[in-house]
Amino acid sequence: MTDEEFEGSRGRMRHGPWVWTAYRAYNELLREKVKKRFEAREGPWMEKVADLLVEIVNARWEGGRKKEKEVEDLFAKLDRLISE
């Protein structure tokens, strides 16, 4: 390794954490942009799915108070929603 190569690698090591921070920030920003696009396009549909999932979990949690048929109906609704 030449002196120039050694000095260059030392500089990369010294700046490495900042470079990785910049990459992470870039990826976080991109992730936020993608999330906004999904929210704009799929938000209303996702709200319906989330509501149904909460109903399903609550129905199963309540156990004996809910009939199995009601839980099956909720899963059928979820299947229809997913296939939209």
**DSSP codes of every residue in 14-68:** HHHHHHHHHHHHHHHHHHHHHHHHHHHHHHHHHHHHHHHHHHHHHHHHHGGGS-H
Once rounded to an integer, what is the mean pLDDT over residues 62-82?
80
Worst-scoring range by mean pLDDT, 7-11, 20-24, 47-51?
7-11
Please indicate, yes or no, whether the overall pTM of this predicted structure exceeds 0.75. Answer: no
Once rounded to an integer, what is the mean pLDDT over residues 20-36?
95
Res 33: pLDDT: 97
**Does residue 10 carry a pLDDT above 70?**
no
